[in-house]
Structure 1
C-alpha cells in the first residue's frame, strides 16, 4: 500500500517492513494509534486479497504462473467539500472494473471482471465502500489539511536562459521552482506552435527543502537553428492561464564589447585603487618622525 495526498507520499506498507509513515508530524495529526490501526487493517485486507486472487485465477484463461491484483482508491476535496471518489480494481495491470460516481454505477471492462459483478453491485459492498471512503480517505485528508501547511498552494517562479557553446550548439533552459502542488507542465513553443525542435531532457519534478517543488527542462537545438522565437510555456493550478516566458536573444557583438569594456574598467579601477593604497602606505612608512629640540 502506498498513500498520497497532492502527490506527496504520506505512508506505505510492505509485509516485510510493516507500515512506514514518511513524515513525523502526520502521526501526531492522525493520532498515536493510527499506525497500529492501519497495520491491523492492511493485514486483514492482505488475507482477503489472497483469497480473491485464488478465486480469480481459477477463472482466468491465461497461462501466467503468477498474478497481480491491484486496488486503486482515491477521493477529492475542494474547499472542504467532497467532490469525487473513485475505485478501480486491476488484474495483471489491466482494469477489471471501475466506479462512475457521477452516474452512480460500475463499469466492467474485462470478462473476468463480470465474475465479481453480483458482489460489487450488492448493497453490502456499497455500504462498505462508502464507509471506507469516508473514514480512510475524506476524514484523513481533512485532518491533514487542517493541521498542516501542505494545502498552501504556491505559483512557480520561472527563469529562462540560453547558452551558446563554442562549437555552435545552443541549449535553452526553463526552470520553475518554489511551486506547490506537485503537478506542473513545462513545454516549448516556437511562434504559435507547440513542439520540440531538438533534444529535450529533464530529471523530473524534484522536492525543495521547504516542501515546494523544482523542475528544469532543457532543449538542445538542432544544428543550424539560430534559437530565435522560442518561449517556455508553464501550466500550473495556481496560474489562471498558461504563462509564457520568452527565451533571451543571443547577445550581439556590440553588447559583448560593452560588457567587456565595463569589466575592464572595473578591473582597472580596482587595480589603481590597490596600487594607490600600497604607495601611500609605503610613503608613510618611509617618513621619519620630527625630533623635538632639546631645551638647554
Structure 2
C-alpha cells in the first residue's frame, strides 16, 4: 500500500514537471496575427474602408483606401514579405472594396433610411505554435453588433442574431468559403510565418520581476509575482515551496497583457490558507531572455504599502495639518478682534490712568 502511494506521488510529480517544460516549449514559439477591416457606406456608395494588421500586439501596417496603398509600419517587413507578396496583397484589398460595397448595399436595403451610414467590420485572427496553425477565427460585425463568427477548426458559421440567419447560406457558398480559406491560409498564417522566419519584430527584453507578500483582512497570506517590460510575450511563472512544485493555495493570473511600449505584463498571485504563514516560497520565472529559470524569493515580512497608498497618507496628513493651522489662525484672529472690541468699549482697561503729580 505504501509502495502504491509513493508510486502515485512520483507519477503525479513527474507529470507536473513534464507539463511545465512542455508548456515552456509551446509558449516559446507562439505568435498571433490579427487583421481588422472596417467599411463605412450607404446603400448608394462606399464612403471609407481601412484595414490594419497586428502581430503579437505590434502594428505591422495599414491599408489606405484613398491611395489604394499598403503602408508598412516597420521598414524591414517589406524585405521579409517581398515585392510580389505585397503587390498581391494590395490587389486582394482592392477586391475587398467591391466585396464590402456589395455587403453594405445588400444589408442596408432592408433599412428604412437609405441615406444612413452603416459600418461593416471583419475581424480575423490566427495563431501558430512551432510553425503549426493552432487557432483561427473570423468575426463579422454590423453597426457594432456581431452577427456571425467561425472557428476555422470547426468550419461552421455561428449565427449570433436570429433575425439575420437568412444570410448564412451566402457565407457557406463555395465562393465565400474559398475566399475565407485563402485569406486565412495565405494572408493571416502565411504572412506571420514569413515574418517569423525572417527576423524578430523587436529586440528581446528580459522581464523585470517584483515579488511581494501581503496579509488580507481575513488573515490569509497573499503572495504576488509581477513581471513587466518583457518581449517576446511568451513567459512562464510558477510557485515553488522549499524548491518543490505543488498546489499550495488559490492561484490567479492577470493573463499576459500588452504595455504601451509593445512589451508585456503578467502578474500571478497565490492566496494561502490561514494556517500557512508563507515561508520558503519562491517565484520561478522562465523567459527566453533569462537563459535559465530565475528564482525570486518571497520577502519574509509583509511588503510595504504601495507608493500610491503612502503618497495618499502623506497628502491626508498635510491636509490635516493645514486645517489645524487654519483653525488656529482663525481662533487667534477672533481673539484679537474680541480684545480690540473690549478696548474700544472700556478704554480705561486698555491704558491705566497716570497718577497726578
Please give the secondary structure, in 1, of the residue aligned with 2:106.
helix
Q: 2:162 aligns with which of 108, 111, 123?
A: 111
Seen in structure 2, the aligned counterparts of structure 1 residues 234 and 128 have a Cα distance that, compared at 3 Å, is farther
Correspondence 1:21 to 2:72: yes
1:206 corresponds to: 260
| Mapped contact 1:75–1:85 kept (Cα < 8 A) | yes
TM-superposed deviation, 1:153: 7.4
2:328 corresponds to: none
Seen in structure 2, the aligned counterparts of structure 1 residues 251 and 180 have a Cα distance that, compared at 3 Å, is closer
Superposed CA offset, 1:265-295 (max 9, x none): xxxxxxxxxxxxxxxxxxxxxxxxxxxxxxx
Seen in structure 2, the aligned counterparts of structure 1 residues 234 and 129 have a Cα distance that, compared at 3 Å, is farther
Seen in structure 2, the aligned counterparts of structure 1 residues 160 and 131 have a Cα distance that, compared at 3 Å, is same
2:59 corresponds to: 9
| Mapped contact 1:4–1:10 kept (Cα < 8 A) | yes
Seen in structure 2, the aligned counterparts of structure 1 residues 148 and 89 have a Cα distance that, compared at 3 Å, is same
Seen in structure 2, the aligned counterparts of structure 1 residues 249 and 11 have a Cα distance that, compared at 3 Å, is same
Please give the secondary structure, in 2, of the residue aligned with 1:33.
helix
Please give the secondary structure, in 2, of the residue aligned with 1:181.
coil
Seen in structure 2, the aligned counterparts of structure 1 residues 31 and 66 have a Cα distance that, compared at 3 Å, is same
Correspondence 1:69 to 2:123: no
Correspondence 1:37 to 2:91: no
Please give the secondary structure, in 2, of the residue aligned with 1:47.
helix
Q: Distance in 1 between matches of 2:302 and 2:126?
A: 48
TM-superposed deviation, 1:13: 1.2
TM-superposed deviation, 1:44: 1.9
TM-superposed deviation, 1:22: 0.7
TM-superposed deviation, 1:123: 2.6
TM-superposed deviation, 1:175: 6.2
Higher RCO (CA < 8 A, seq sep 6+): 2
Q: Distance in 1 between matches of 2:57 and 2:235?
A: 8
Superposed CA offset, 1:84-104 (max 9, x none): 221111001111111133433
Q: Distance in 2 between matches of 1:71 and 1:102?
A: 18
Seen in structure 2, the aligned counterparts of structure 1 residues 132 and 214 have a Cα distance that, compared at 3 Å, is closer
Q: 2:181 aligns with which of 125, 130, 138?
A: 130
Pairwise CA RMSD: 4.5
2:228 corresponds to: 176
| Mapped contact 1:160–1:248 kept (Cα < 8 A) | no
Seen in structure 2, the aligned counterparts of structure 1 residues 63 and 128 have a Cα distance that, compared at 3 Å, is closer
TM-superposed deviation, 1:20: 0.9
Q: Distance in 2 between matches of 1:86 and 1:54?
A: 25
| Mapped contact 2:121–2:140 kept (Cα < 8 A) | yes
TM-score calculated relative to the size of structure 2: 0.48
TM-score calculated relative to the size of structure 1: 0.56
Superposition map of 1:1-296 within 5 A: 1-16=51-66, 18-60=69-111, 65-150=116-201, 156-159=207-210, 176-181=228-233, 205-207=259-261, 213=263
1:198 corresponds to: none
1:199 corresponds to: none
TM-superposed deviation, 1:35: 3.5
Paired residue total: 214
TM-superposed deviation, 1:33: 3.5
Q: Distance in 1 between matches of 2:284 and 2:97?
A: 42
Q: Which runs of 5 or more residues in structure 1 are unaligned?
A: 162-173, 186-191, 196-203, 218-228, 253-296
| Mapped contact 2:229–2:259 kept (Cα < 8 A) | no
Q: Distance in 2 between matches of 1:181 and 1:124?
A: 37
